[in-house]
Amino acid sequence: MSDPTRAARKPTLAHLFLLTLIMGLLSHVAHAETVSVGDSDELETALREAQPGETIELRPGDYVLPSLTLRTDGEADAPITVQSVIPGKARIWSDHTTLMKLYGAHWHFRGLDFQGSRSANHAFHIVRGADDVVLEGNRFQNFHAAIKANGEGSPPSFPDRVRIHRNVFNNETARDTNQPVAAINVNGGRDWVITENFISDIGYAAERHGVSTSTAFVKGGAYGATFDRNVVICEWRHTGGYRAGMSFGGGGTGERYFDRRGMEHCRENCPEVRNSRMTNNIILNCPNHAGIYLNQAHDVLISNNTVYDAFGVIAQFPHTAARVQDNLMTGRVWTRRDAQVDTAGNLTSGWPGPWGYLPSVRSRLHAPEPGQEGSNSDGIEAALDWAVARTRDAVDWLGASRLGKGLNRYEDWLTAPAFGQLQPRDPEAILGRGHGDAGVDHDFCGQPREGAVDVGAIQYTAGDCTLQRELPRRHGELFAGLSQGDQRHPETPAAAQRDMAAPLDLPAPTRTLSATPESFSEKVAELRPGDALELEPGTYSGGLDLRGLEGTEERPIVIRGPERGEGQETAVLLGESGRNTVRFEDSAHIVLKNLELDGRGRNVSAVVAEATGDYAHDITLDGLSIHGYDGIRGNSGITTRSTAWNWVIRNSEIRRVGTGMYLGQPDGAPFIAGVIEGNQIAETLGYGMQIKHQDERTMVPGMPTDPQRTVIRGNTFDKAEGGERGSGARPNLLVGHFPTFGPGQHDQYLIHGNLFFENPHQRLFQGEGNVALYNNLFVNRHGVSGLGGDGAIFLRHNDVPKDLYVLNNTFVTEGFGLRIAEPDTDYEQIVQGNAIFSAEPLSLDGIEAPDNFTADLPAAWDKLVRADGSLEQLDLTPRAGALERDTELSWPKELPGLDRDYHGAQRSQSVWGALQARE
């Protein structure tokens, strides 16, 4: 007899189905986890190991990745999501050809800030089966073609149903490259949806003569593409090349990359795009090209777009068959080479006829190469240059006229289209004048199009829709930061926000070690975060090797000698041939205090961040005595040859060295956010201090990317003795420019409260880039043979003077006082409040500077207490009533210490120069 309970437990087909379903759901739940990452290595690992259903969340910060290939598939109900915890606050940096090559389907990227470089091609290369990818709410900046898509394989397969929504695309400069330039470059694929993006400044550099691009396009046999509610500004912050707004068809596609699905019977000149729509877009400032370009675009709808300062719609080639209706545009619809276009309900400002060829004509009329203007100043070539220039001017005039774009007529219809104010000035011409019946049921702001259709992207009768409200709503801080542009204010390092005289505030050590010259190396090898190593008085050989040693922000590593004082014995590190005395390499959060470094004339440097490392950051050098490193000019007291940030160099004496400080290297090893304060630098063969100019920065994890300040305050730069002569002579201080592109381009020097004392063979100060120079004393009274005796100069060295604030300084110089040559007038230059005693007080190259006191050098003996003394005797305080001023001056904001004088006393008097009169 059978067991009835056993029979009841026998699984049925329904049970098996239910069990399979539950196991599948549990599998998804198991993978539906969140992986939180906070650094580059964690992010790389998470991306490589991602599984369906996972969400990778990036904490705020900067991430530097290698080029990655992502092949894992997500699933329709379990995508792989990569997103920022706070939208826009996780920045991913790339200088690769391609940052991410995506083969896997169902990947979603949201709220990320992708930052390229001058040579970066793609943030994403989407290929083969990477279907249903979503890119939403990201920023893509400084790529040739941020989003690239095409087929791969034999025969090639193409990614379908990709959604690009509410992203920001822009480039800080025009791209000087032979590679294709476009924000979105899609070859093939089906049902791509490109909506609500902001795209600006995507184009080639002007010297790429005759090269044109479309800001965003699909081509290569694409089917079912949608461009809707996007904003394109071809030329916003910069110009160059020939920039079309958006395109179906682009410049055409080679057979290798052509998506032939549905075109089996087409062998050549096949449609680049089929069955696609371009609706409700706003396209501005594409002055030398079409707003919308159609190339072999078959069965496409171009409807309800607003186009300003562009050549309307240009359509060409036999396979182009388009419906163009209800658009508001400069220019008009121009057809070429048998293109077929039906039009209805458009409001256009140009004329029919051949005027659509003006962009092609203009692209062939090249200006002279930069720097070559006037090089053919004689003969036939000069005449040809003149004729080309005049023809170009004529073509530009025709292009702006009613024959071409008809700007004046268009500007009668809208309030101020050049400034993005698109409200109707002439409602009768626009409201309810559309043809309708195109299936466009909403407008640029998502408002419904009901009843009579308005012309253009905005259905004005539906409500209040403006760019000024819609863009911040869509893109939040990404657009706010972009719209602020170069008004971003740099950050002052925390170390420079305290009183310079205050001692360092170091946390209590977790343990304290003691070392003698005999146990020194052994104790250094034991150091770990939070340790303090105290050196007993004595002479230490073998150098201090800190390579690979890192403390933390809360637990720095401190190495200190005895307190310095009269008759106090010190801990002396001896210079030895073949090795720099103190060596940093991949080091961080280390404090060196009260050490003496004696180079003994060896051919070495004292403190070096070695070039063999990637970084040295959060290094503090306090109370060092460095001397005897003067074998040659290249031997320095302190130098950084790898990327360095958050260095504090304070209260140190550097004397009898080749170069006092040599900070940074132009080849990708910048010096960032440093504080140099209270140091005495004297008897240097070359520079007292030089901060090298910086080229584009190579990204290092943890490196600051927001605008920063380097602060140089309260130092004495003395070259009265010991300096080289002739071609070897160098200024007391030289600061080179920050990068002209990418991170650091908005950085600034704050140089205040310093004494620049004597340089018989050179000037005292030289600078370029962004500099605030205030409350300093410049004394150079004894030039030799007319070579020295000058004060401060800003001039083109490796870049040009940019934002300059030269305020409340006192100059006593035999040569010139202050000279500024070739400043970039797109930036701000303010020179005021200075007291200048010099034979040539001011030479400013077109800068207006009425609010300064100037006099010849001998007047300084009368106006100042002691202008002719030695360093110890010098006193540039004004005599009573000598430098009083009646002029009320307004000062730039956010310059720390500007309200104080050279000594740091609060300013209570209206006087010229760096010092107040004694009460």
Q: What is the mean pLDDT of residues 147-151?
A: 96
Cβ–Cβ < 8 Å for 272, 297: yes
Of 716, 731, 848, 870, the closest CA to residue 788 belongs to 731
Q: Which of 190-194, 429-433, 666-670 has the lowest mean pLDDT?
A: 666-670
Q: What is the mean pLDDT of residues 416-432?
A: 93
Retrieve residue 347's tokens: 């409001």
Q: Which of 35-49, 403-417, 700-714 has the lowest mean pLDDT?
A: 403-417
Q: What is the mean pLDDT of residues 607-611?
A: 97
- Measured CA to CA in angstroms, residue 261 lies from 270, 294, 690 at distances of 11, 21, 63
3-state secondary structure of 64: strand
Per DSSP, the residues of 492-507 read PPGGGSS-TTSPP-PP
Q: With 80 as the cut, is the pLDDT of residue 860 above it?
A: yes
pLDDT at 212: 84
User: How many other C-beta atoms can be found within 10 angstroms of the C-beta atom of residue 366?
Assistant: 13
pLDDT at 564: 79
Cα(218)–Cα(189) distance, integer angstroms: 9
What φ, ψ does residue 627 adopt, rounded to 5°?
-160, 165
3-state secondary structure of 804: strand
Mean pLDDT value across the chain = 90
Q: Is the dihedral of CA 377, 379, 383, 384 positive or negative?
A: negative
DSSP state of 429: H
pLDDT per residue as tens digits for the range 772-821: 999 999 999 988 867 789 999 999 988 999 999 999 999 999 999 999 99
Cα(520)–Cα(516) distance, integer angstroms: 6
**Residue length of the chain:** 919
Distinct helix (H) and strand (E) counts, the chain: 11, 75
pLDDT at 399: 59
- Identify the band that residue 133 occupies on the pLDDT scale cut at 50, 70 and 90: very high
pLDDT at 83: 98
Q: With 60 as the cut, is the pLDDT of residue 486 above it?
A: no
Segment holding 763, helix H or strand E: none
Question: What pTM value is reported for the model?
Answer: 0.85
Q: What is the mean pLDDT of residues 718-739?
A: 95
Q: With 90 as the cut, is the pLDDT of residue 507 above it?
A: yes
Of 370, 375, 222, 217, the closest CA to residue 289 belongs to 217
Retrieve residue 559's tokens: 């190495």
Q: With 70 as the cut, is the pLDDT of residue 16 above it?
A: no
DSSP state of 413: T
